[in-house]
């Protein structure tokens, strides 16, 4: 009797934990995380999920901890700056499109690209040309204003875990405008709510089935 109750308790506890994660999944979509010398956190901001918590926000770091809105340069203009670094995260091809966030397709050097997010950095551009910043463009309205991707764009698959893009951005070394910094982005910060609920429910089902066998 006690063994069955223990199994059920553990399963229900896991389901409760998953439900809490589902709540957080409704709140966060993308994240821009920047650290400086000694690992000091300079910027740690995330954008709400457009499907559940309002429109997504383009995140911009200009040296301070707060997100800069509006960005110092509109993304559609920033992406055309000579010398700007551009990293394009692709929309996963194995996931169905979110009806609340239609995919954004932008012409690229080798054809159309279904874009999830775009990272734009002017850290390596002369200060006389543009103010230094790192921008994570996830707002669909901002993405739709971009008519084409520059030839120097680095295109990579969207990554659910933290993605360190420091090595791909000029001006992140000791001589850069903000000194030695590390730039990490994360898209789809938390798992899909449906997946978590399905997994939690499955655990409860297995526990109930196991308890029934023990009693039989």
Confidence of residue 21 (pLDDT cuts 50, 70, 90): very low
Q: Are residues 40 and 61 in the same domain?
A: yes
Q: Are residues 81 and 160 in the same domain?
A: yes
Q: Are residues 143 and 171 in the same domain?
A: yes
Q: Are residues 135 and 207 in the same domain?
A: no
- Is the alpha carbon torsion for 52, 92, 185, 115 positive or negative? negative
β partners of residue 119: 87, 136
Is the pTM higher than 0.85? The answer reads no
The first and second tokens of residue 141, run together, are 């309205």
Would you say 134 and 68 are in contact if contact means Cβ atoms under 8 Å apart? no
Q: Are residues 61 and 91 in the same domain?
A: yes
Task: Quote the domain boundaries for residue 178.
Answer: 29-189
Q: How many domains does the chain have?
A: 2
- Judged against a pLDDT cut of 70, whether residue 155 lies above it is answered with yes
Pick left, alpha or beta for residue 199 (phi over 0 → left; psi -120 to 50 → alpha; otherwise beta).
alpha
Could you tell me the CA-to-CA distances from 73 to 47, 136, 187 in Å, in that order?
19, 13, 22
Q: Are residues 183 and 101 in the same domain?
A: yes
- Judged against a pLDDT cut of 50, whether residue 19 lies above it is answered with no
pLDDT digits (tens, 9 = 90+) for 56-81: 789 999 999 999 999 999 999 999 99
Q: Are residues 97 and 148 in the same domain?
A: yes
Mean of all residue pLDDT scores within the chain: 79
Q: Are residues 145 and 210 in the same domain?
A: no
Q: Output the pLDDT for position 157.
A: 86
- Judged against a pLDDT cut of 80, whether residue 123 lies above it is answered with yes
């Amino acid at each position: 009797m006690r063994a069955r109750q223990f199994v059920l308790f553990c399963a229900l506890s896991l389901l409760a934990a998953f439900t809490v994660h589902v709540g957080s999944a409704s709140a966060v979509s993308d994240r821009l995380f920047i650290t400086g010398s000694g690992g000091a956190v300079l910027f740690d901001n995330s954008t709400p999920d457009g499907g559940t918590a309002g429109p997504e926000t383009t995140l911009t770091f200009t040296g301070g901890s707060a997100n800069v809105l509006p960005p110092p340069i509109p993304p559609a203009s920033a992406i055309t700056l000579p010398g700007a670094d551009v990293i394009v995260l692709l929309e996963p091809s194995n996931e169905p499109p979110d009806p609340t966030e239609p995919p954004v397709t932008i012409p690229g050097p080798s054809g159309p690209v279904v874009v999830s997010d775009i990272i734009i950095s002017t850290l390596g551009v002369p200060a006389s040309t543009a103010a230094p910043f790192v921008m994570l463009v996830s707002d669909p309205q901002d993405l739709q204003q971009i008519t084409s991707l520059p030839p120097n764009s680095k295109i990579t698959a969207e990554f659910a875990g933290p993605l360190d893009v420091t090595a791909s951005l000029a001006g992140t070394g000791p001589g850069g405008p903000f000194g030695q910094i590390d730039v990490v982005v994360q898209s789809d910060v938390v798992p899909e709510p449906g997946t978590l609920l399905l997994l939690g429910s499955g655990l409860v089902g297995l526990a109930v089935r196991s308890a029934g066998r023990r009693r039989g």
